[in-house]
Structure formats: C-alpha cells, structure tokens
Amino acid sequence: MAPGLRRLAARRGDGPRLAPTWPCHQLDDGAPSSFAAQLGSSARTLAGVDEVPAPLNAAGHAFALDDAHAMGQPEAFVFAPVWLIVRPDASLHLTLRPEWAQKVAAKGWGTVHPFARYMAGAVPPQSLIIYAPRDESELAIAIRIVAAAHCYATGRIGDVALPDSRW
C-alpha cells in the first residue's frame, strides 16, 4: 500500500455529482479557488514531473513523467506519459493500483471515472476522479492521493520497485 493511503480516513458526506459527458467535471460541492493551484504546485515537487498540455482537450493542468521516471505499468497513466490532470475545479483525474483505487473509492474520496464504465477495456478501471477537496484537511488528503498516483506511475514506493513495473 502506498504510504499516504495506509491510514486513510473516510470522507464526510456523499460524493458530488459528475457530468455524464467528457471530461466528467464535478458539478457541485466544489473547492476553494486556490486549491487547484496548490495541488499543481504539490505535483510539480515530485521527482521527474513536468507540466504539459492536457491530453484530449481536457481542461486543467496535466503532469507527465520524464522517460527516466515513467516506469510504471501502462495502466498507471491517464494518457502516457501524463499521470495526473488537475482540473479547474480542483478535482483530479489519475490512476492508482487496483487495490489502492478500491480503498480510495471505498473511503469516499473519489470514484471510478465514468468512462471506465462506459468504455470498458478502453479506459482501465483504476482510472479515477478524485473529488475536489472542500477544506484544508481534505486538501492534505488529496495531496497524499496524488503522491500515491506518482508512486504507481513511477513504479516505485521509495527505493522499492512495484510488481510489474519496468524497473
């Protein structure tokens, strides 16, 4: 388990509604306006990360790994080498190892991306939308989830290579 997910508390309340069409934006229960920038700043501090244009005309800021760090399984990427999209509403599009994704969804922090349901096989089921954080404590948890997605995309937790990574 990724270190930031080991003691993951449950999110308060119901999940927000998502638009049924691409890119499935969050429709309610939004974040303070500064949170998207804070999530992006946090992502930029991780090893091998570059900010790039978002793929598939998705709104928001996309983060990719350089070749030396992009060693995770193909399913670890939203659209290789992009592993994270911070959307304007501060919700996130990312992927996690299936057992990590299951825990995050079960604790109410996000949901399987609707396109993983609509386009089974084309979008991996560990593709998630993480709900926009509503306060500082939720922002801290969102940053931990971003770090876990980075581990999955790099194929490492610290110095330990994940199973089936390219290391």
pLDDT band at 120 (very low <50, low <70, confident <90, very high): low
Interatomic CA distance for residues 81 and 135, integer angstroms: 30
Looking up tokens 């309610």 gives 28
Helix/strand/coil percent split, the chain, to 5 = 30, 20, 50
- Which pLDDT belongs to residue 54? 93
pLDDT digits (tens, 9 = 90+) for 4-34: 999 999 999 999 998 877 777 899 988 998 9
pLDDT digits (tens, 9 = 90+) for 76-100: 999 999 999 999 999 999 999 999 9
* Mean pLDDT, residues 62-72 taken together: 97
pLDDT-above-70 percentage for the chain: 93
Residue 121 has pLDDT above 60, yes or no: no
Residue 112 has pLDDT above 80, yes or no: yes
pLDDT band at 123 (very low <50, low <70, confident <90, very high): low
What pTM does this model have? 0.93
- Which pLDDT belongs to residue 20? 79
Collapsed DSSP state (helix, strand, coil) of residue 123:
strand
Residue 122 has pLDDT above 60, yes or no: no
> What φ, ψ does residue 165 adopt, rounded to 5°?
-80, 175
60: left (phi over 0), alpha (psi -120 to 50) or beta: left
Cα angle for residues 28, 117, 100 (degrees, 5° grid)? 80
